[in-house]
Amino acid sequence: MAPIIGKAKAAVDISIAYLTGIRHLFHRPYTLRFPQQRYAVEKGYRGRHLLHLDRCTGCGICAWICPEKCITIVPRGQRWYPQYFYGRCCFCHFCTDYCPEFALEETVEYDIAEYTRDRLVWSPERLSKPPVKKDDKYVFSVDTIGGASQVPQKEE
Protein backbone atom coordinates (compact mmCIF):
# COMPACT_ATOMS: atom_id res chain seq x y z
CA MET A 1 0.00 0.00 0.00
CA ALA A 2 2.74 2.41 1.05
CA PRO A 3 4.60 2.44 -2.29
CA ILE A 4 1.39 3.35 -4.09
CA ILE A 5 0.78 6.26 -1.75
CA GLY A 6 4.37 7.38 -2.19
CA LYS A 7 4.04 7.23 -5.97
CA ALA A 8 0.76 9.11 -5.88
CA LYS A 9 2.29 11.82 -3.71
CA ALA A 10 5.26 12.08 -6.04
CA ALA A 11 2.92 12.44 -9.00
CA VAL A 12 0.98 15.19 -7.22
CA ASP A 13 4.16 17.03 -6.25
CA ILE A 14 5.51 16.85 -9.79
CA SER A 15 2.25 18.16 -11.21
CA ILE A 16 2.28 21.04 -8.73
CA ALA A 17 5.85 21.85 -9.78
CA TYR A 18 4.91 21.86 -13.46
CA LEU A 19 1.82 23.98 -12.85
CA THR A 20 3.88 26.49 -10.89
CA GLY A 21 6.28 26.70 -13.78
CA ILE A 22 3.57 26.99 -16.41
CA ARG A 23 1.90 29.84 -14.50
CA HIS A 24 5.05 31.87 -14.94
CA LEU A 25 4.97 31.62 -18.71
CA PHE A 26 2.62 34.58 -18.68
CA HIS A 27 4.73 36.86 -16.50
CA ARG A 28 6.84 39.71 -17.68
CA PRO A 29 10.52 38.93 -18.25
CA TYR A 30 13.20 40.18 -15.90
CA THR A 31 15.67 40.94 -18.64
CA LEU A 32 16.17 44.20 -20.51
CA ARG A 33 17.36 44.90 -24.03
CA PHE A 34 20.14 47.11 -22.84
CA PRO A 35 20.89 50.07 -25.10
CA GLN A 36 17.22 50.55 -25.96
CA GLN A 37 15.91 49.83 -22.48
CA ARG A 38 17.83 51.29 -19.61
CA TYR A 39 18.01 50.20 -16.03
CA ALA A 40 16.94 52.98 -13.68
CA VAL A 41 19.49 54.05 -11.09
CA GLU A 42 18.63 56.52 -8.38
CA LYS A 43 20.49 59.61 -7.37
CA GLY A 44 23.35 58.57 -5.16
CA TYR A 45 24.40 55.69 -7.38
CA ARG A 46 28.17 55.38 -7.49
CA GLY A 47 28.81 55.81 -11.20
CA ARG A 48 31.55 57.89 -12.73
CA HIS A 49 32.86 60.94 -10.92
CA LEU A 50 31.97 64.59 -11.44
CA LEU A 51 34.76 67.05 -10.70
CA HIS A 52 34.04 70.64 -9.68
CA LEU A 53 37.07 72.45 -11.03
CA ASP A 54 36.40 75.59 -9.01
CA ARG A 55 36.43 73.73 -5.69
CA CYS A 56 39.36 71.39 -6.30
CA THR A 57 42.58 72.51 -4.66
CA GLY A 58 44.72 69.72 -6.08
CA CYS A 59 45.68 68.46 -2.62
CA GLY A 60 45.95 64.85 -3.79
CA ILE A 61 44.04 63.17 -0.96
CA CYS A 62 41.88 61.41 -3.57
CA ALA A 63 45.02 59.98 -5.18
CA TRP A 64 46.34 58.88 -1.79
CA ILE A 65 43.17 57.10 -0.66
CA CYS A 66 42.50 55.43 -4.01
CA PRO A 67 42.96 51.67 -3.42
CA GLU A 68 43.55 50.93 -7.09
CA LYS A 69 45.89 53.87 -7.75
CA CYS A 70 43.76 54.99 -10.69
CA ILE A 71 44.07 58.72 -9.94
CA THR A 72 47.01 60.84 -11.06
CA ILE A 73 47.31 64.53 -10.25
CA VAL A 74 48.05 66.46 -13.46
CA PRO A 75 48.95 70.15 -13.88
CA ARG A 76 46.65 72.56 -15.69
CA GLY A 77 48.35 75.96 -15.81
CA GLN A 78 48.93 77.08 -12.25
CA ARG A 79 46.71 74.41 -10.68
CA TRP A 80 46.63 70.69 -10.24
CA TYR A 81 43.66 68.40 -10.82
CA PRO A 82 42.96 64.65 -10.58
CA GLN A 83 42.86 62.56 -13.72
CA TYR A 84 41.06 59.20 -13.60
CA PHE A 85 41.93 56.01 -15.37
CA TYR A 86 38.66 54.09 -15.45
CA GLY A 87 40.35 50.88 -16.52
CA ARG A 88 41.46 50.52 -12.91
CA CYS A 89 38.70 52.28 -10.98
CA CYS A 90 36.63 49.99 -8.75
CA PHE A 91 33.99 52.65 -8.02
CA CYS A 92 34.41 52.51 -4.26
CA HIS A 93 34.19 56.31 -4.17
CA PHE A 94 36.50 56.66 -1.21
CA CYS A 95 37.89 59.67 -3.10
CA THR A 96 34.45 61.32 -2.96
CA ASP A 97 34.17 60.60 0.76
CA TYR A 98 37.64 61.83 1.61
CA CYS A 99 37.65 65.03 -0.48
CA PRO A 100 37.93 67.86 2.06
CA GLU A 101 36.56 70.48 -0.36
CA PHE A 102 33.61 68.40 -1.69
CA ALA A 103 34.98 68.83 -5.19
CA LEU A 104 34.11 65.29 -6.25
CA GLU A 105 30.62 63.94 -6.66
CA GLU A 106 29.12 60.65 -7.79
CA THR A 107 26.93 60.61 -10.89
CA VAL A 108 24.40 58.11 -12.20
CA GLU A 109 26.32 57.56 -15.42
CA TYR A 110 27.42 53.94 -15.40
CA ASP A 111 27.90 52.95 -19.05
CA ILE A 112 31.35 54.39 -19.66
CA ALA A 113 32.81 51.57 -21.74
CA GLU A 114 35.06 52.65 -24.56
CA TYR A 115 36.57 51.08 -27.66
CA THR A 116 40.18 51.96 -26.88
CA ARG A 117 42.18 51.91 -23.71
CA ASP A 118 43.35 55.53 -23.86
CA ARG A 119 39.74 56.73 -24.05
CA LEU A 120 39.34 55.33 -20.53
CA VAL A 121 41.67 58.02 -19.19
CA TRP A 122 39.40 60.88 -18.16
CA SER A 123 41.08 64.28 -18.07
CA PRO A 124 39.94 66.85 -15.46
CA GLU A 125 38.05 68.73 -18.19
CA ARG A 126 36.12 65.65 -19.24
CA LEU A 127 35.37 64.79 -15.61
CA SER A 128 34.00 68.26 -14.97
CA LYS A 129 31.19 67.92 -17.54
CA PRO A 130 27.90 66.77 -16.00
CA PRO A 131 26.53 63.51 -17.41
CA VAL A 132 24.41 63.68 -20.53
CA LYS A 133 20.78 62.95 -19.77
CA LYS A 134 19.74 59.82 -21.61
CA ASP A 135 16.41 59.42 -23.37
CA ASP A 136 14.08 58.82 -20.45
CA LYS A 137 11.42 56.97 -22.40
CA TYR A 138 12.82 53.53 -21.76
CA VAL A 139 13.69 53.36 -18.08
CA PHE A 140 13.00 50.08 -16.41
CA SER A 141 13.29 48.66 -12.95
CA VAL A 142 12.75 45.23 -11.44
CA ASP A 143 9.64 45.33 -9.34
CA THR A 144 7.70 43.15 -6.95
CA ILE A 145 4.94 42.54 -9.49
CA GLY A 146 7.27 39.98 -11.06
CA GLY A 147 9.50 41.04 -13.88
CA ALA A 148 10.88 44.31 -15.12
CA SER A 149 8.56 47.29 -15.09
CA GLN A 150 8.67 50.75 -16.56
CA VAL A 151 9.14 53.52 -14.04
CA PRO A 152 8.59 57.22 -14.71
CA GLN A 153 11.80 59.17 -14.38
CA LYS A 154 11.82 61.85 -11.75
CA GLU A 155 12.47 65.45 -12.64
CA GLU A 156 15.61 66.79 -11.04
Residue of 16, 53, 74, 151 interacting with other proteins (CB under 8 A): 16
Contact 23, 144 (CB under 8 A): no
Least distance from C-beta 72 to other proteins, angstroms? 13
73-102 residues near other proteins, rule: CB under 8 A:
90-94, 97
- Cα dist. 142→29, 39, 108, 148 in Å? 10, 9, 17, 4
CA–CA separation, 156 vs 146, rounded Å?
Answer: 28
Element (H, E) at 5: helix 2-23
Asked if 17 is part of the footprint of other proteins (rule: CB under 8 A), the reply reads yes
> Under the criterion CB under 8 A, does residue 20 sit at the interface with other proteins?
yes
Q: How far apart are CA 31 and CA 129, in angstroms?
A: 31
Verify binding: residue 118, other proteins, rule CB under 8 A.
Answer: no
Interface positions with other proteins (CB under 8 A): 10, 13-14, 16-17, 20-21, 24, 30, 41-42, 44-46, 65-69, 90-94, 97, 106, 141-142, 144
